[in-house]
Structure 1
Amino acid sequence: MKTILIVEDEETISRVLAVYLKHAGYEVVQAFDGSEGLRSFTELQPDLVLLDVMLPAMDGWEVLKEIREVNSCPVIMLTALGDIDYKLKGLNQGADDYIPKPFIGEEVVARVNAVLRRSTHVLDTESTKQFGSLKINMDSHVVTVNGEKVILTPKDLSLLMFLAERPNRTFTREDLIENVWGMDYDGSDRAVDLSVKRIRQALLDWSSTQGEIRTLRGLGYQFSVYEK
């Protein structure tokens, strides 16, 4: 059972949220000011945080900043402030979603479900690697993002699978040619650059928020996953 931490100083709102989330099958923990919320987060390591912006002791922006320094746990901001600047501030500081008050309980549950589905937490099974919304079945060679199949050439698929099996490790072009194209390859190393470019284009819906194939100047390429 996944645990949701609600950090909200208005007890009525917190209680209503807790009822809806418990009904949806989540375990719920409540905190009523920023400092208490941060302590609860550190102790419990919840699966998602519903975080109000206007909190006593420590406001939501400060709590979000502290969380993001150590963890990529999904955070949804709650606030009565409807200005677009506040929404952008939250998203730019690392929030995963933003729900203005007043809100409907069912909407909050739906947003929680959606954010958890695209969480960057990595799930490995015997044949499948999952990085947030990106799934790579290593047996069937099927790649999906948000449930939609991604079409790749055989060589691009081989390159993606090689890198995804070794996240956050850096490989030179020569390494990739040797391991993906083979030692007998006699073409240009530009093939690696072009393959990476095509993969990035195919994974745009994933790479914008959850990870990327990074170019490390002078070093090579890395399948980089945003850490929890």
Structure 2
Amino acid sequence: MEKHRRHTTKILIVDDEPDLRKLLTDYLEINGYVVMAAQNSHEAIRQIEEHPDLILLDINMPEMDGLELCRKIRNFISCPILFLTARVEDTDKISGFRAGGDDYIQKPFSIHELGARIEAHLRREIRSQHKTSVKFSEDLVIDYSARALYFRDERIPLAKKEFDIIELLSTHPGMVFDKERIFEKVWGIDDEGDSAVIVEHVRKIRYKLKEHGCDDRIETVWGVGYRWRKS
């Protein structure tokens, strides 16, 4: 089953270093993935039409860099984007998360660690695409099909957008979403509004959780956004 799934999983590599592209391509193909490769952002945009399941994206590229490309394609694709970069400063990571990236892989990296990270992100995607009732602790249950949140078997009443925010964050536990991206995911990129509305909705969610005796599950990542606390 796992082997069959890999043979249908497409990974796009975007890097201007030919040797690294070949190394990654060989490793991923040996492990059963379908691999696409691009040496610059313009080639990558054409490859995006093939709907990759995951993107490995170098930040330091000529013409359009990886951050700019990430911002550009996030309007059209929701698959995991893993940055390949030598940059490790917190400010660089914040920029990457704000641009829509999901993870950072520091160069030089262990090819086996990279493979494990890829697997982890793909498993997370599968879990989010096949949502069922998910119990995050002994007392808190989120029923995605019924769009309901329960704490100690008591339903917590939520407005539609409040549940939408919980659904987005809880299906990607530990992943940081900035307010702009939450707004785009929940309200849609064509909707008019201020991302500051996210702050008010999160405040209401936290109030309702506290009112029912439930600990706050939404963590504020200062200067970046919000994430669902891992249990």
Q: State the TM-score, normalizing by the size of structure 1.
A: 0.60
Any residues of structure 2 matched to 1:1-228 within 5 Å, and which? 1-41=8-48, 43-119=49-125, 122-124=128-130, 130=131, 136-137=132-133, 143-144=135-136, 151=140, 152-156=151-155, 195-197=208-210, 201=215, 203-204=217-218, 208-209=226-227
Taking only aligned residues, the RMSD between alpha carbons, in angstroms, comes to: 3.3
Name the CA distance, whole Å, in 2 between partners of 1:83 and 1:120: 31
Instruction: Check the 8 A contact 2:139/2:152 in 1, yes or no.
Output: no
Q: Structure 1 residues 23, 61: CA separation in 2 closer, same or farther (over 3 Å shift)?
A: same
Please tell me whether the aligned partners of residues 156 and 195 of structure 1 are also in contact (alpha carbons under 8 angstroms).
no
CA distance in 2, matches of 1:47, 1:120: 10
Structure 1: which 5+ runs fail to align? 125-129, 131-135, 170-191, 211-228
How many residues get paired? Answer: 165
Q: Cα offset for 1:157?
A: 7.4
The C-alpha deviation readout for 1:96-150, integer Å capped at 9, x for no partner, is 00111101111111111122223388424xxxxx2xxxxx43xxxx524xxx666
Structure 2, unpaired ranges of 5+: 1-7, 141-150, 168-185, 188-204, 220-224
Q: Report how far residue 84 of structure 1 moved.
A: 2.9
How far apart, CA to CA, are the structure 2 residues paired with 1:60 and 1:193?
35
Larger-Rg structure: 1
- Report the Cα distance in structure 2 between the residues aligned to 1:117 and 1:6, rounded to whole angstroms: 19
**2:85–2:106 CA contact under 8 A, matched in 1:** yes
Letter in 2 for 1:105: I
CA contact (8 A) 1:64 1:93 kept: yes
Residue of structure 1 in register with 2:222 after alignment: none
Contact 2:13/2:37 (<8 A) preserved: yes
CA distance in 2, matches of 1:67, 1:209: 22
Q: Which amino acid aligns with 2:115?
A: V
The sequence identity of aligned pairs, in percent, is 33
